[in-house]
Chain A
Amino acid sequence: MSGYLLRGVSLLGNEQVDLHLDNGVIAEVSEPNTKLRITGAKTIQGDGLIALPGLVDLHTHLREPGREDAETIESGTRAAALGGYTAVHAMANTDPVADTAGVVEQVWRLGKEAGFCDVYPIGAVTIGLGGERLAELGAMADSHARVRVFSDDGKCVSDPILMRRALEYVKSFGGVIAQHAQEPRLTEGAQMNEGEVSATLGLKGWPAVAEEAIIARDVLLTEHVGSKLHICHVSTAGSVEILRWAKSRGINVTAEVTPHHLLLTDELARGYDPIYKVNPPLRTAKDVQALRQALAEGVIDAVATDHAPHPIEDKDCEWQAAAFGMLGLQSALSVVQQTMVDTGLLTWAQVAERMSSKPARIGQIANHGRPLSAGEPANITLYDPTALTLISETNIVSKSRNSPYLGMSLPGQVIATFLRGMPTVLNGSSIR
């Protein structure tokens, strides 16, 4: 016998069990603390720790290739592992753009070499994210990276005929289009949510309707052509209503929400600190409540980080000159605990569904988001919900520092992460 024995962990926040991990799988699930030791297996005392299936992120910007000054696949996946993730989907807006089989295979290979978690490249919908011609979606699907999710994230596929064709085309290999819903004409030069705060600050508004109009159009297109649609980073109460309606009609649409849209509001822009500049922008408290409710009800399927690293100089400037985006991988589970679990909106089993099994299903990756039972892949996160973590620059392992939570205390801490039975994180620190 070998591997790891996780003693007395709380399975999805419920009953205590011992988990024996061996040969990359969960070898045995047994009564707690019955086996004092297993010969050859390392023992981890897991009392008080919640065992979750390794988290799966549908929306990660790893910045490599092209912006290795902001993040690399290695540093980004290390951050992911510390956040409890065993799989991430790498967004296509790299330089060069992930719009060919060659680039997605490079990202896929670099992810394997880094070894902190599995990296599933997302392919661009259009060449160079240009919004004009379809990229070779079939070649990316057939590549070693086996791409199934396609997105121009950062930009909206705004041309309705191009969106229709993309939705139709991916049907032949069961793909899904992940839409960054942002009507470009309604958001030219937009800096923050359009509303009372933008009016006072004199910053150009990004109206909710610019997101909602695209979602409404695209769920109707999806129904019309019988395809599959995923909506990235839903941010408004109105979007939730459209998604609720679409799902009630049986339209094949899924949606994600970011941790920051579950916690932060546009009031934070008042000091003009660009650490809070993000796209889609932070919205109002009313939107935050609607998003939490939608995630609880399953109208929004998953939490996705939209982890977006930026170097210091892109945030240490005036708001208008700053880049959009914030870090998310290391803090996601804590934010979800604070906004969804501690508020009674979700159980830990439901958190596992929204942060692991559903995103794995949407991304069509087989060996993640599985139940924690014997014979399943040993992708596991151990989480201490009683910890209180002060977020500071010293505990960020990402190459960038643009976390909106710096200086805040967030509940919970990832204690260990196992990828196919091998730890990537132990005692709250990354291995290697």
Chain B
Amino acid sequence: MHRHLLSAADLSLEDTLLILDTAEEMSRVADAPVRKLPTLRGRTVVNLFFEDSTRTRISFEAAAKRLSADVINFSAKGSSVSKGESLKDTALTLEAMGADAVVIRHSASGAPHRLANAGWLRGSVLNAGDGTHEHPTQALLDAFTMRRHLRAGKGDLSGIQVAIVGDVLHSRVARSNVILLATLGAQVTLVAPATLLPVGVESWPCSVSYDLDSVIAKVDVVMALRVQLERMNAAFFPSAREYSRRFGLDSTRLARLPDGAIVMHPGPMNRGLEISAEAADGLRSVIVEQVANGVSVRMAVLYLLLGGAQLAEHGQKALVEA
């Protein structure tokens, strides 16, 4: 494993399987009478959120706390520029406070890369979503959820068919999922109007379709992405109704899914736009479970990034100092 988790591309197949298997172990902690492991006692995890995202922050916070880490929530609303303090100065502050890991959510693509590589701080950096770039722990929790439901829970995702539907252009979830699912051997099809696919998508390890109906009957997983209504005003699509008709996961399409197929959404949902209530709340939906699995997966990532050799080293240092 790398010291940081900035992109799903940082993870080899072995790394990915190790994280997913570790996450299974971690999920048992949630069921234990005492939901806490002493693993990261004395280590400091900073949640550095430049964008509002209560669910992701809470998920990381719960994960770190269940591993007994000290958690500092640093909510810097708005961009570093509008706030007046630069990302660099924020990083130097965190370094001075002795952050072992920084979980960062930022509106600028690549902000976690700068935090990790500009020489501002020494701790591990975890990308919790950067601009329209990536959200690797979301892809991990999605893969974790797929493993639990598909192939009789045996854990092998190679060859499964996944459709990711919606605003791929602006989606960090889609980018991380395409990369991670390709690593795991799954077959991904992106489904969107051409306006919401990036120029250059041809080079991605997936296929592309403009027609959800031609794809839906063959998939093991359909994942709807959040569509922001303001995209309509920028002419990405003509109207909410037209989008919903062509790309929405409605009851007709839900009925055409093969047996055993699951419905996913990274949230928050626009019910009635990209996903109908029947699809979101139906038996195939694993959307609520995705949230629960997020904690286990983030525990696994924190444990693996901060644990192991580093932890041993830290412990020895602590002994010497004592």
- Residue A201 lies at the interface, judged by CB distance under 8 Å to chain B: yes
User: At the interface with chain B, which of A81-89, A136-144, A202-210, A421-429?
Assistant: A202-210
Return the chain B residue nearest A272 by Cβ: B110
Whole-angstrom CA separation of A319 from B204 in the bound complex: 23
User: At the interface with chain B, which of A51-59, A211-219, A310-318, A379-387?
Assistant: A310-318
Provide the residues of chain A in CB contact with B86, threshold 8 Å. Answer: 313, 316-317, 321
- Residue B203 lies at the interface, judged by CB distance under 8 Å to chain A: yes
Q: Provided the pairs A197-B200, A313-B86 are in contact, do residues A202 and B109 lie with their beta carbons within 8 angstroms?
A: yes
Report yes or no: A203 in contact with B109, Cβ–Cβ below 8 A. Answer: yes
Q: Provided the pairs A313-B86, A321-B81 are in contact, do residues A205 and B199 lie with their beta carbons within 8 angstroms?
A: yes
Report yes or no: A202 in contact with B203, Cβ–Cβ below 8 A. Answer: no
Whole-angstrom CA separation of A195 from B58 in the bound complex: 36
Contact of A201 among B79, B133, B204 (CB under 8 A): B133
Report yes or no: B108 in contact with A201, Cβ–Cβ below 8 A. Answer: no
Return the chain B residue nearest A191 by Cβ: B109
Docked complex: A212-253 residues within 8 A CB-CB of B: none
Min Cβ gap A70→B in Å is 17
- Residue A349 lies at the interface, judged by CB distance under 8 Å to chain B: no
Whole-angstrom CA separation of A392 from B204 in the bound complex: 37
Report yes or no: A319 in contact with B109, Cβ–Cβ below 8 A. Answer: yes
User: At the interface with chain A, which of B111-119, B180-188, B216-224?
Assistant: B111-119
Q: Provided the pairs A203-B110, A272-B114 are in contact, do residues A320 and B200 lie with their beta carbons within 8 angstroms?
A: no
Report yes or no: A318 in contact with B108, Cβ–Cβ below 8 A. Answer: yes
Q: Provided the pairs A202-B109, A202-B132 are in contact, do residues A319 and B199 lie with their beta carbons within 8 angstroms?
A: no
Report yes or no: B80 in contact with A318, Cβ–Cβ below 8 A. Answer: yes
Chain A CB within 10 A, most for which of B81, B110, B130, B172? B110
Whole-angstrom CA separation of A318 from B198 in the bound complex: 22
Return the chain A residue nearest B179 by Cβ: A200
Contact of A320 among B109, B118, B203 (CB under 8 A): B109
Whole-angstrom CA separation of A207 from B81 in the bound complex: 26
Provide the residues of chain A in CB contact with B147, threshold 8 Å. Answer: none
Provide the residues of chain A in CB contact with B198, threshold 8 Å. Answer: 198-199, 205
1/0 per residue, CB under 8 A from A, across B184-212: the answer is 00000000000000111111100000000
Contact of A195 among B110, B200, B204 (CB under 8 A): B200
Chain A CB within 10 A, most for which of B111, B198, B199? B198
- Residue A344 lies at the interface, judged by CB distance under 8 Å to chain B: no
- Residue A40 lies at the interface, judged by CB distance under 8 Å to chain B: no
Whole-angstrom CA separation of A405 from B39 in the bound complex: 45
Report yes or no: A194 in contact with B199, Cβ–Cβ below 8 A. Answer: yes
Report yes or no: A199 in contact with B203, Cβ–Cβ below 8 A. Answer: yes
- Residue A196 lies at the interface, judged by CB distance under 8 Å to chain B: yes
Provide the residues of chain B in CB contact with A319, threshold 8 Å. Answer: 108-110, 114
Docked complex: A134-187 residues within 8 A CB-CB of B: none
Return the chain A residue nearest B197 by Cβ: A199
Whole-angstrom CA separation of A316 from B132 in the bound complex: 21
Report yes or no: B172 in contact with A202, Cβ–Cβ below 8 A. Answer: yes
Provide the residues of chain B in CB contact with A321, threshold 8 Å. Answer: 79-81, 86-87, 108
Contact of B200 among A194, A204, A273, A313 (CB under 8 A): A194
Report yes or no: B130 in contact with A317, Cβ–Cβ below 8 A. Answer: no
Whole-angstrom CA separation of A318 from B132 in the bound complex: 14
Return the chain A residue nearest B132 by Cβ: A202
Whole-angstrom CA separation of A271 from B112 in the bound complex: 11
Return the chain A residue nearest B134 by Cβ: A202
Report yes or no: A202 in contact with B199, Cβ–Cβ below 8 A. Answer: no
Contact of A317 among B88, B113, B131, B175 (CB under 8 A): B88
Provide the residues of chain A in CB contact with B199, threshold 8 Å. Answer: 194-195, 198-199, 205, 207
Contact of B110 among A199, A207, A318 (CB under 8 A): A318
Provide the residues of chain B in CB contact with A318, threshold 8 Å. Answer: 80, 87, 106, 108, 110-111, 114
Contact of A202 among B114, B117, B133 (CB under 8 A): B133
Provide the residues of chain A in CB contact with B88, threshold 8 Å. Answer: 316-317
Provide the residues of chain B in CB contact with A202, threshold 8 Å. Answer: 109-110, 130-134, 172, 175
Report yes or no: A200 in contact with B108, Cβ–Cβ below 8 A. Answer: no
Min Cβ gap A18→B in Å is 51
Provide the residues of chain A in CB contact with B202, threshold 8 Å. Answer: 196
Report yes or no: B113 in contact with A272, Cβ–Cβ below 8 A. Answer: yes
Whole-angstrom CA separation of A321 from B80 in the bound complex: 9
Min Cβ gap B284→A in Å is 30
Provide the residues of chain B in CB contact with A191, threshold 8 Å. Answer: 109
Return the chain B residue nearest A321 by Cβ: B81
Report yes or no: B133 in contact with A199, Cβ–Cβ below 8 A. Answer: no
| 10 pairs, CB–CB < 8 Å, chain A vs chain B | A199-B200, A199-B203, A201-B109, A205-B198, A273-B117, A316-B86, A316-B118, A317-B80, A317-B88, A318-B87
Starting from the known contacts A202-B172, A321-B108, 10 additional A-B residue pairs (CB-CB under 8 Å) come to A194-B200, A198-B200, A201-B109, A202-B130, A205-B200, A272-B114, A273-B114, A317-B87, A320-B110, A321-B87
CB-CB nearest 10 A-B residue pairs? A272-B110, A199-B200, A202-B133, A199-B198, A202-B132, A320-B108, A196-B200, A202-B109, A272-B113, A318-B108
